[in-house]
Structure formats: structure tokens, C-alpha cells
Amino acid sequence: DHLATFRWLFAEDELPKDRHSLYLYMLAQLQELNGGRADALESYRRLKARVGSNPGRLLDGANAGIARLSR
């Protein structure tokens, strides 16, 4: 399972702060692909809160994920 391997390789509490947003984006993607819609939505929301209003791909990805999973 890709999600379990990702979490095993990259423990969230051990990540450098500058990598945490990217981690949340990849985690949300894997959760969504694994069928964990609620978990993915929560991760996208955490990502959006973390990046705030800073424009860029991570914010765009978070907004798209939230829109997709909120339907």
C-alpha cells in the first residue's frame, strides 16, 4: 500500500518545517487515491490553512482537492 509506505518513510512529526506543506499535499493525494475521501479532505484543508493565501501550485492543488471532495 503506497499510503502506508509513504507514512513509514516520512514520519510527519520528523519533517523539516519547510517540507511540511509538500508532505501534506502528497499525503492528501495518496489518501484520495486510496479511497480515503474524508482523510484526504482533512489533509487538503490542513494544507490550505498552512499555505494561507500564498499563491502557487500547493494552494491551487488544495483548493482543487477541497472542491472535488466536497461535492
pLDDT, tens only, 22-46: 999 999 999 999 999 999 999 999 9
> What is the DSSP-derived secondary structure letter of residue 28?
H
Torsion region of 56: left, alpha or beta (phi above 0 gives left; psi -120 to 50 gives alpha): left
The pLDDT, as a whole number, for residue 53 is 86
The residue with cell 502506508 is 4
Examine the pLDDT at 20 and tell me if it is beyond 90: yes
Residue 59: other Cβ atoms inside 10 A? 18
d(CA 24, CA 43): 6
d(CA 48, CA 31): 16
Examine the pLDDT at 1 and tell me if it is beyond 90: no
